[in-house]
Structure 1
Amino acid sequence: MNTRDWPIRAKLTALVIGPVTALLALWLFATTLTFGPALDLLAARTYLYDLGRPGEAAVTELQRERRLSVVQLAGDAALPALAEQRARTDRAVAELRRRVDGEALRDAADGLLDTRLDQLASALDALPAGRGFIDARKVDRAGAIGLYSGMISSAFQAFAAMANSPDTQLNREALALTALGRARELLGQTDALLAGAITAGRYAEGEHEQLVRTINNGRFLAEDAVADLPAGERTEYQRLTEGPDFVRLRALEDLLIRSPELPARFDVPGWDASQIGVWRSMRDFELRGADGLAERSVPMAVGILVRLGAAGVLGLLAIVCCVLVALRVGRSLARRLTGVRTAALEMAEHRLPDVVARLRRGEEVDVAAEAPELDHGGDEIGEVGRAFNEMRRTALQSAVDEVTLRRGLNEVFLNIARRSQGLVHRQLALLDRLERQTEDPDELAGLFQVDHLATRLRRHAEDLVILAGAAPGRGWRNPVAAVDVVRGAISEVESYDRVDVGEVQPAGVLGRAVGDVIHLLAELVENATTFSPPASRIDVTGRATPDGYAFEITDHGLGMSPPALATANRKLSRSPEFDPADSARLGHFVVARLAARHGVRVELRPGTPGGVTAVVHLPADLITEEPALGSTGPGPRGAVPDGRRMARVTRLGGGPRTRPGRPGRERGDSAVVALPAARTSSGVEPAADGDGLPRRIRRRGTVARPRPTPADAPSSRTPDEARQAMSALQAGTARGRRDGARAAEAAAGTAPSPPEPVRAPQPPTATERDA
């Protein structure tokens, strides 16, 4: 037996109490093994008088009622004797039920007998319904015989379960007597079948075959049971079978077996007389045998109990002495070892976790005060205590060093992230200036691509800030429309051109949460594009809910298994501690922290028919009315005014689009925002018809690029040309709407406020799968 990992108290208990426990178990086993059979022997009388006698009386009355019921079914009129017999049967059954439900029999019965008693009670419950079928003649003679025979069979099964004595000879005799009772029951069935056939004047279909089987089975059971009886009882039964009733009954049975039809001159009175005589002789023989078994079991039980009492008292005295010696020897050793164990558990479960929690909160900890010396003596137990003292000081010092290292690592992350953010913001400002100054479409497209990469770099820098436990610096002063938040998130994704923006219901997101919501949505959209086929589309929608606003991002990839979804949702539902070992799931950490900062709920659900749907639910305190066009402004915390980058998605080659059949926002059915006119390679001028929409014109002085020769010209418009055309069209549309809005405000007597450019975040690379 390997006891290396046992606790100290268990080892001491095994050393001191083990032999005593083994001795006690042996004593209990011997006592139970002897006491149980003694009780079984004493219960034999209980079985006989509480189950055997009343059960045999009930079986007898049921056999008589069965015969009369068959005779009534074979005739044309009701038998008055049947009603009287039913009354006698009810009294016998009631007495049997009373004894079966009594505490004496139930306490003495084992599990098998208890089950058989319940089955007997259930079988007797069918007696009233069966009588009703017989009176209504809804059953035939065979059915009536089967009804009563089933109840009688349940009684004999209960009688057989009483043979649980520890003495095998007694059990053999009890089972032999039960088998003789079954043979007598088969004789009763034969009599009932023959009585019905005689009354009807012929056998019903199948009755003769059943009669033959019943006679043969009864003979077999009787011969087999007699072989297990003692010699004296076997001789007595042999004398009974040689009597005139047995001989005449055997001859009549042989006649019935040989004749397929009812014999014309069958000796009915002879049959009745011999059958009654044999039946009573067998019954008296069984009762005498049962009484003899009960009487013989009592002396055997008394002798067993006397021997058990002597052995039990001596064994108990030996056990008590061993226990007293063992307790006296092991008490002091167990007390000292328990003290060492308690001190170790106190440090491991309470003091050390409390010190680590205080260190993480930035509190100062005195290692010497938190790890006082413990004195446990100068023997081996004292040496263990001193070693534990040293180990405790080392553990506390290691915790201090680990928290200090983690704090320094967070500072390094934050320092690197802030520097990267500063460089990226300066790069974005420079790109913005270059984009304003560039008129060549190809160069402008290249600058937009660099702008897109810089925006993604900025998101990665913000990831470092979040990992360090700080908040990113981007922010907005005013609310931003929900559709612009979606566009800003899409613009930070590498595969933005695969994203379809569906219906985004009008709403505004408070400026203090815009940057974090854009970052959170961008991480989820990035995951959707990364873990779905390159040719598939990503659907993004937004809808108002009773308690806030919900964005849904759906991809059509392979999806995630239910365990993986459950694990991811557990991580997203709380703000976990950053674990450097889980670098492949940084997106989960970033999304969870951003969501926890504003009380946002993020949940991943299986898509239909495939893929994953990420649901981002913003609480009501972050949602307001949708702001008017051009009202979004930069934040007051030094955030770069890059809201215009929300509108730059289409500059890199198409960008997100509204899926067919889904309504867009009221101000523009496309999921893109047009570029400012100053960024396109064509000029604009107001329309002459006053519809507010500008007309694009070619700028003079623009260096014309050489046109390709007809031989080199492609057969259709290239993607770059299509992108430029769409960009110019969107730019003109947006400018026309802004000019129209200013004109309407001027006509109404209000001074329009100059629009503040808003720069939106743009996509990061897909480096991890978070959903």
Structure 2
Amino acid sequence: MRTPRTTTPGPGAPAGRPATPPRGRRAHAGRPADERPGPETGASAGRRPRHGSLRPRTVRAKIISLLMVPVVSLLALWGFATVTTAQDVARLREVRRLDTTVRGPVTEAVRALQDERTAALRQLADPGTGHAATLRERAGRTDAALKALSIGGGHTVADAGLLPVGTAARLTAFLDEVKQVRTVRTRLLSPSRNGSGAPPATGTGGPDTAAGRPAGTETPSAYTQYGDAVTAALGVCGSLTGIQESETGSRTRVLLELTRSGEMLAREESLLASAAPKGTLDAEGLRAFAGAVAARRAFADTAGADLPGPGRQAWRELTGRDTYARLEAAEDTVLAVPAGRRAKAVPVASWERDAAAVRTQLRA
């Protein structure tokens, strides 16, 4: 056993007490020892953050740093959702504006032009005050529908610079075709055509004194001019599908094909109306009728198969009705009659009634 180390007390020191406290003990009196940290080395110096370090030093700073990542991520998601929603709202407002200013008036103009075309061909086939009055009334409906596209001063919405470039160009082309239609209308409503001595507009008769051309060539010209105008109008509606979302645009294109099918049916109606007075279709008229029938059925079959759920069911109900069956049977009957022969097997009144019903259901 090691004996404790002792020192000899100095002179004047109390006996029995050491001159200095034992090593390792602190004095209980006097100035506190200097406890400032000295220079550190080794591992302890590496663990202590240096001045300017991004490592949090307090518990509060550590909690804040842990919360920053989800908070910043949430703010980024909110910002993205806000921008996306704003873009969708702006696109929806643009689509609604174009529907109001362009699509609606053009659709009404198409319907009016289709009805006016039938009246025009009747006036060509059988000139008279009665048919002229019908043509004048339907022409007024066409002008009223086109008036919605005007912005005053002889300008149209195509001149306002508020439409997509493609839509504005097609709308201008459509309005140019309408000008040609008005020229045909004016010629058909001339006084020389409304008297009892007006020359016939179909067949191979003498020259037409009002138009200065053979009468047999005027019916195809009028039919073609009205058809070109309607086709240009449907082109305007087709250009508007490009600014819609992919799903909505696809559905709109299907409905546009149904609209084209309705246009082909309207062409058939106008051709039969022009043949009603004599009950005949010449070779050119029969070819036009056959082309309209083929196009109508192609558009209808393609669009009907691509319609979404409720629309497809409505299409099946339409094609399953007796009206639609009678319409197709009448088309086949007309196609089976040779050109130049009388086509009394298809009464025009029943045909027009069935065709009007089918066109209404197609629009619905």
TM-score, length basis structure 1 = 0.31
1:34 deviation in Å?
A: 8.7
Q: Which amino acid aligns with 1:57?
A: E
Matched, 1:156 2:207: no
Counterpart residue number, 2:176 = 122
3-state DSSP of counterpart to 2:150: helix
8 Å contact 1:172–1:229 — kept in the other structure? no
Q: Which amino acid aligns with 2:329?
A: A
Counterpart residue number, 2:188 = 134
Counterpart residue number, 1:49 = 100
Q: How does 1:551-630 map to 2 (within 5 A)?
A: none
Question: Residues of 2 paired with 1:62 and 1:94: CA distance?
Answer: 14
8 Å contact 1:97–1:121 — kept in the other structure? no
Larger Rg, first or second structure (1 or 2): 1
Equivalent residue pairs, number: 254
Matched, 1:276 2:361: no
Give RMSD over aligned pairs.
Answer: 2.7
3-state DSSP of counterpart to 1:57: helix
Matched, 1:71 2:111: no
Counterpart residue number, 2:204 = none
Q: How does 1:657-668 map to 2 (within 5 A)?
A: none
Q: How does 1:366-405 map to 2 (within 5 A)?
A: none
Cα shift readout 1:1-53 (whole Å, capped 9, x = no counterpart) = xxxxxxxxxxxxxxxxxxxxxxxxxxxxx999997665333322222222222
Counterpart residue number, 1:427 = none
Question: Residues of 2 paired with 1:102 and 1:44: CA distance?
Answer: 15
Q: Which amino acid aligns with 1:276?
A: A
Cα shift readout 1:709-731 (whole Å, capped 9, x = no counterpart) = xxxxxxxxxxxxxxxxxxxxxxx
Question: Residues of 2 paired with 1:183 and 1:127: CA distance?
Answer: 22
1:264 deviation in Å?
A: 3.0
Counterpart residue number, 1:101 = 156
Counterpart residue number, 2:270 = 192
> Looking at both structures, which has the greater relative contact order when contacts are Cα pairs under 8 Å and sequence separation is at least 6?
2
Question: Residues of 2 paired with 1:192 and 1:122: CA distance?
Answer: 22
**CA distance change for structure 1 residues 277 and 35 in 2, over 3 Å: closer, same or farther?**
same
Question: Residues of 2 paired with 1:73 and 1:45: CA distance?
Answer: 40
Question: Residues of 1 paired with 2:171 and 2:345: CA distance?
Answer: 45
**CA distance change for structure 1 residues 262 and 181 in 2, over 3 Å: closer, same or farther?**
farther
8 Å contact 2:112–2:142 — kept in the other structure? yes
**CA distance change for structure 1 residues 203 and 126 in 2, over 3 Å: closer, same or farther?**
same
Counterpart residue number, 1:172 = 250
Q: Give the share of equivalent positions with the same residue, in percent.
A: 23
Question: Residues of 2 paired with 1:76 and 1:88: CA distance?
Answer: 21
1:103 deviation in Å?
A: 8.9
Gap runs ≥5 in structure 2: 1-80, 190-209
8 Å contact 2:293–2:331 — kept in the other structure? yes
Question: Residues of 1 paired with 2:166 and 2:86: CA distance?
Answer: 19
Q: How does 1:67-466 map to 2 (within 5 A)?
A: 67-78=118-129, 79=131, 80-98=133-151, 101-102=156-157, 106-107=161-162, 109-135=163-189, 136-137=210-211, 138=213, 140-165=218-243, 167-260=245-338, 261-283=341-363, 285=364
3-state DSSP of counterpart to 1:174: helix
Question: Residues of 1 paired with 2:114 and 2:244: CA distance?
Answer: 33
Question: Residues of 2 paired with 1:134 and 1:102: CA distance?
Answer: 29
**CA distance change for structure 1 residues 231 and 104 in 2, over 3 Å: closer, same or farther?**
farther
8 Å contact 1:184–1:279 — kept in the other structure? yes
Counterpart residue number, 2:66 = none
**CA distance change for structure 1 residues 205 and 251 in 2, over 3 Å: closer, same or farther?**
closer
Structure with the higher strand share, 1 or 2: 1
Question: Residues of 2 paired with 1:165 and 1:270: CA distance?
Answer: 42
8 Å contact 1:172–1:228 — kept in the other structure? no
**CA distance change for structure 1 residues 208 and 245 in 2, over 3 Å: closer, same or farther?**
same
8 Å contact 1:256–1:262 — kept in the other structure? no
Gap runs ≥5 in structure 1: 1-29, 286-771
**CA distance change for structure 1 residues 167 and 218 in 2, over 3 Å: closer, same or farther?**
same
Question: Residues of 1 paired with 2:174 and 2:83: CA distance?
Answer: 30
